[in-house]
Each structure stands twice: as C-alpha cells, then as structure tokens.
Amino acid sequence: MDPRRGPAARTAPKAGAAAPKASAQGGRGALTEPDVCPAVPAAARPRAQSGEPARAPGSLRKKSAPGPRERPPRRAQSARAGQEPSSAAGPAGPAEGPALSRAGSRRERGARSAETARPQPGPAELGGVGALVPAPSLGRRGAPPGAWEPRAVLEKLRLSRQEVSAAAEVVNRVVDHLLQRLQRRESEFRGVALLHTGSYYERVKISAPNEFDVMFKLEVPRIELEEYCNSGAHYFVKFKRNPKGNPLSQFLEEEILSASKMLSKFRKIIKEEIKHVEDTDVIVERKRRGSPAVTLLIRKPKEISVDIILALESKSSWPASTKEGLPINNWLGTKVKNSLRRQPFYLVPKHAKEGNGFQEETWRLSFSHIEKDILKNHGQSKTCCETHGVKCCRKDCLKLMKYLLEQLKKKFGNRKELDKFCSYHVKTAFFHRLH
C-alpha cells in the first residue's frame, strides 16, 4: 500500500501546510521590520492653555499687549489705544508664544529651582541595549507593582561556567562513546558524524545546563524530494538511483525512505550501546509520539536530558520552497546569505500531522546549523558581540523571550494550549523580527 495514500491524507491535505512553515527556518514569505520611530506623544505637542481662546491664523503677526510689569499704561494714550486692534490674549493677559508649552506664567508657578531634575530621555534617545532599562529611567516615577527588571532577570539566567563545564563533560563522554560505537558497527549508520546545534552551542541556554540537543548527521547522496501536501517543510525522500549494496535499502517502502523505520532502528542501536557506557548511569526514555529524537536521561551525578536526533545530510540545492526564505539581505548582507545557502540542508524524521495522527514516512527540513551561524554572527558589524566588540541585546532578548515562555508554562500549567509551544517557536519568531 502506498504510504502517501490514505483517508487522512485525502481529507486533510492542508493540515500540515500552515504550521510547518514557521518551524522550518527559510520558509516562504517576506518578513516585516519593526518600526523604530515612535509616534510623538500628544502631551509633547504645543497647545493653547486651558481657559484661553484659540489663536486666529493671523494673530501670529500681531504684537501681544505688553504685560503690566513691562510697560504701565498711560492715561494720555488711552483713547488712541482703544482704536488699535486688540491682541490675541485679550483683556485676560498676554498671549502664549507658539514655540512654548507651559502650564502657566513664570510668575504664577515660580521660577524653576536649579535642583529640579531634567526630564529623562524618551525611548528614541536610548541607544543600543539601553532599551532594556526599567520603567523609572524612561521618565516614570517607578515600576508598577510586580514588575520585573530585565537586567536582573538576565543576571539570574546566567549559567555558572563550572556547572556548564561539568554537565558538558558528562554529555560529551556519552555522545563520544555512542558515536564511536556507531562508526565501528557494520550497520546502516556507520557513516554518522556529529553536528553541533542547539541552545548550548548557540550560547542562549537559560536556567540550568540540564538539557542538550545533539544531531548525528548521515550523508545521503542523490536524493529526490517530494513535497507533502504543499507544506513547504515536510517531504517524502526517494533515491534517484538505488545501487546494489545501499545500506539504506532495507528502509524503503515502495521507493520511499521510511522515516519511522529508520528512526526505530537508530533507537534500537542506541539502546544497546548505552549499556556499555562506563561510569555513567544513563537510560533511554520512552518514545514520545511524533518526536524525531531519541532521548537519553543521565541520572548521575545530576539529571541531564540529551536529545539525539538523526539527520540526513543533502548537499544538493535547497528545495524550491526555501527560495523566498532567509531574507537577510538588508541585515547581514547578500554575501552572507549566498554563503549560507551554499551549505548543505538536513532532513530529520519529524512526522507531519495528519488528522488525529501522523504521516510517519515524512521527513522535515532542518536548518539548525544555519540558525546557529546567524546567532554567532548576528550583527551588521563583523565585531558585534566579540570579545572586544560592541555588545548588542539580541541574544539577551532571545533569552528573555525563552524565560517568559517558561514562566507562562509554570503559571498556567493547567492550560493545554501552552503545551504546543516550545523554545523553538520562540527562536523562530525571534528570527522573523531580526531582519
């Protein structure tokens, strides 16, 4: 039976068409750039004082009547003064100048003392990371009750180098063991290699170094992709030529490379090999439906979760669905974009949603290596965030967004809608605002 056919595939052809585009970096559609020029507040606009009549258009050319302290009125000129046109202020007093906005005369409110603080600069005047300072520095008297200080949160999210090093050492020991064993085995995965991706390598990890993502890449030459339901992200994978002795032939289902079969065998081998890891208490967690990862749980000295993901590497041209993607010309430049597009692309065994189930033979595009490169070289300046370069707030903003999602899940843990969101959605939204 053709795995591409079935009632679910016919009845829900667009089920996987909307969501995957956001999850696969490089989807269709141009991205909008946030406005950086705030509107002028109404309070900053010049206006007539309350209680005063509106100025006529021609009144700017007429002289205001002199104030009592400047020129006392003379009785001899009273008749003549009565024939002159009255000022815009009228008998109530002098007219207010057009360039000033004040609540009363200097005489009424008193001269300003030298101790009066200058008004704080508005958001447009704060440059760089200054936009992250709390509300009091933006001209308000104090932050509202319960508000949090972004910089204090960032300091709280800072990971201890000692903890990170200790966790990375344990994870690397397990991963290196698995990699060596896979390369020595006479199996379909003998050619796997390590691909460093994920928040740890992107330097945007928060809270604790207790979760790691690792990709084992396997090069597959001369493959042909068939897009699933116009999703732009999920594909059936075929071989253009299938020579004899191809180790992946056993995973073919009517010429289609079965993602479920390949992931199942990959999981089985890892489950066997972790038994031989020395000095580490590690197990394989139960399979999560629809997940492309084999999750390991290292239980000692501290609990650490490691997601190992199998990824097919293709050095062919990127799929047509990515043609309008990666709109970074005005941000990182055309040369950087062309350089990134010359890199391979990857396919992970992430099944497409199909009705109430999954199409288990599909693979999803992955550009996690491109995402890592962008986060490492994320500024227009080549020295942005380098050791001696100017620091920007991009990575800090991403950390705060991830922390916000984490706190929302804790606060509204009983709401199932939040279960669908993960840090990858946050990172994808973040990339869509950067260019």
Sequence-distant (≥ 6) Cβ neighbours of residue 159 within 8 angstroms: 205, 206, 207, 208, 209
Higher-confidence residue: 242 or 81?
A: 242
Topology classification of domain 155-434: Beta Polymerase; domain 2 (3.30.460)
What is d(CA 190, CA 179) in angstroms, rounded to the nearest whole number? 9
* Contact call for residues 246 and 197 (beta carbons, < 8 A): no
Q: CA-CA distance, 77 to 293, in Å (whole number)?
A: 97
Considering the chain, what is the average pLDDT of its residues?
A: 73
Please state the three-class secondary structure of 389-428 as a single string: CCCCCHHHHHHHHHHHHHHHHHHCCCCHHHHHCCHHHHHH
Provide the residue ranges of all domains of the chain, joining segments of one domain with +: 155-434
Average of per-residue pLDDT across 323-347 = 90
Residue 174 is classified by DSSP as H
| Arithmetic mean of pLDDT, 170-191 | 90
pLDDT band for position 20 (cuts 50, 70, 90):
very low
* DSSP codes joined into one string, 197-222: -SHHHHT---S-S-EEEEEEEEE--S
Among 169-178, 377-386, 412-421, name the most confident range. 169-178
Helix (H, G, I), strand (E, B) or coil at 71: coil
Distance CA 264, CA 191 (A): 18
To the question of pTM greater than 0.85 for the whole model, the response is no
* pLDDT at 90 exceeding the cut of 90: no
State the Cα–Cα distance between residues 35 and 38, nearest whole angstrom: 7
Average pLDDT over residues 360-378: 89
Beta bridge partner(s), residue 358: 353
> CB of 321 within 8 A of CB of 235?
no
Q: How confident is the model at residue 383 (pLDDT cuts 50, 70, 90)?
A: low
13 pLDDT exceeds 80?
Answer: no
pLDDT attached to residue 96: 41
Q: Is the pLDDT of residue 386 over 80?
A: no
Segment among 20-34, 223-237, 244-258 with least mean pLDDT: 20-34
Quick one: residue 172, left, alpha or beta (phi over 0 = left, psi -120 to 50 = alpha)?
alpha
